[in-house]
Amino acid sequence: MNVTPGAPSVPMRVLHNEARDAMLIGYTEGDPLREVSRFEMDPRRDLEANLEEVFEALNEPGPRLAQFDAVRRYRAERHRSLSKGDVLFYGELAYAVAGAGFVRVYPTRESITFR
């Protein structure tokens, strides 16, 4: 989210889960996903730290995170907060927001509506 120009980066894509019960039961294989945001992350940081930062930034960002362009764009586009069942693609690896933390998932290309 805070990548210095010219520094290494990895793409992060944020997908909202559009299944009716996703916020209750989490991600289920085949759930319809809609890409709502994308930006770059620093791959030199721990994966879990990057995922947690995105979750925090797209829910209740404090002053440190609210300053980032990606967060301002996300809010300006009036997206809802990240919830259980939503998916974050870190490069080619997908992680669903779980009740606590994240779980590795394998969504199909057919289940995703791209931005």
Q: Is residue 67 part of a domain?
A: yes
End-to-end CA distance of the chain, in Å? 18
Task: Look at residue 3 in the predicted model and tell me its pLDDT.
Answer: 62
Task: Look at residue 4 in the predicted model and tell me its pLDDT.
Answer: 63
Give the pTM.
0.91
Q: Which domain holds residue 34?
A: 10-113
Task: Look at residue 64 in the predicted model and tell me its pLDDT.
Answer: 80
Task: Look at residue 114 in the predicted model and tell me its pLDDT.
Answer: 80
Q: Is residue 92 part of a domain?
A: yes
Task: Look at residue 67 in the predicted model and tell me its pLDDT.
Answer: 84
Q: Is residue 38 part of a domain?
A: yes
Q: From first to last of its 115 residues, what are the pLDDT tens digits of the chain?
A: 666 667 789 999 999 999 999 999 999 999 999 999 999 999 999 999 999 999 999 998 788 888 888 999 999 999 999 999 999 999 999 999 999 999 999 999 889 998 6
Q: How many domains does the chain have?
A: 1
Q: Given the structure tokens 């997206």, which residue do they identify?
A: 79
| Rounded Cα–Cα distance for residues 55 and 14 (Å) | 10
Task: Look at residue 15 in the predicted model and tell me its pLDDT.
Answer: 97
| Beta strand spans in 50-98 (E) | 87-90, 93-97
Task: Look at residue 54 in the predicted model and tell me its pLDDT.
Answer: 95
Torsion region of 62: left, alpha or beta (phi above 0 gives left; psi -120 to 50 gives alpha) = beta
Q: Is residue 4 part of a domain?
A: no
